[in-house]
Structure 1
């Protein structure tokens, strides 16, 4: 029975990695669609989110079954409960990638963001892709140094997010009302995507060290 239980735990962890890989693919397609006004890529990103949702539900069902049947304790319990929480964050990251893709699709054939902010959003999107790939590596290898790197990259996204708000609220902003709304929403989606990655990274750190710092919550 113990061998079966360990196999189930390994399956839970592998499924998390699989979902994370899809999230990384989704945000890559979504940000490219957003920056290049590519409606085909936008549709692909939206389709990826449907897969993410389905796999997240399957993972949750497996984790709940393990909790009910195996009644794990100590670290095993933390792994299963953390898997449920990580699954929820990954699912939300997929949703945020979809929101970015939907903006691209909605504004097609025009670009979503005025020219003055395109460089900022290209940088923000590139950082989200880097963070998503790092997160997949972290979930695969459990290399806790990656968790710190993810947090550092998130700080860069936060700074860009602030710069977007400063731009749209500044006296020199010439965008229309729709431009202001699009820029504000898109910046928030990018920023929250990275925040969820940080949240997952902290959960992995907790599993690896047993230490949790409430004041560090994402």
Structure 2
């Protein structure tokens, strides 16, 4: 029974890695769709969200089955419960990517934000893609140094998020109401995507070291 249990725990980890890799692919396509006004990539990203949701549901069902059949305790219980919480965060990251893609689809063939903000969003997207790939590797390896790097990169996303708000609220902003709403929403989606990655990294770090990282 113990061998079966360990195999199920490995299946949980593999499932999380699979979802994280799909999330990384999704945010990559979403940011390119957003920055390039590419409706094909936008549609692909929106389709990816359904796949992410399906995989997350399948993983949750496995975790619940493990809880019911194996009655895990101590660290094993934390692993299963953390998998459920990580799965939920990954699902939300997929939602954020889909929201970014939906903005690109709604505004096609035009670009979503005015020219003055495009470099900011290009950098924000680059950071989110980088964070997503690091997160998949973190889930695969539990390398706590990656958790630290993810938090540092999130700080950069937060700074860009604030810069967008400063821009759209500034006296020199020439965008219309739609531009302001789109920029605000898109910036929030990027920022929340990175925040969920940080939340996951804290859970993985806790499982690897036993030390909980407090909210900053």
TM-score range, shorter chain: over 0.9
Query: In the alignment, is residue 172 of structure 1 matched against residue 172 of structure 2?
Result: yes
What is the alpha-carbon distance in structure 1 between the residues aligned to residue 110 and residue 93 of structure 2?
25
Structure 1 gap ranges (5+): none
Cα distance in 1 for partners of 2:121, 2:209 equals 35
Aligned to 2:105, the other structure's residue is in SS state helix
Q: Cα deviations across residues 47-104 of structure 1 (Å, max 9, x unaligned)?
A: 1111000000000000000001100001100000000000000000000000000000
Aligned residue pairs total: 216
Alpha carbons 2:202, 2:213 under 8 Å: kept: no
User: Which residue number in structure 2 is paired with residue 146 of structure 1?
Assistant: 146
Deviations 1:129-164 (A, max 9, x none): 000000001001111000000000000000000000
- Partner-residue secondary structure (3-state), 2:126: helix
Q: Answer yes or no: is the 8 Å Cα contact 2:168–2:180 preserved in 1.
A: yes
> How far apart are the structure 2 equivalents of 1:87 and 1:56?
6
Give the structure-2-normalised TM-score.
Answer: 0.99
Q: Which 5+ residue runs of structure 2 have no aligned equivalent?
A: none
Q: Give TM-score, length-normalised by structure 1.
A: 0.98
Q: 1: distance between equivalents of 2:30 and 2:120?
A: 16
Secondary structure, counterpart of 2:130 in structure 1? helix
Tell me if 1:8 matches 2:8: yes
Match in the other structure for 2:195: 195
Corresponding residue of 2:106: 106
Paired residue secondary structure (2:157): helix
For residues 9-24 of structure 1, the aligned pairs below 5 Å read: 9-24=9-24
- Superposition RMSD in Å: 0.6
- SS of the residue 1:133 aligns to: helix
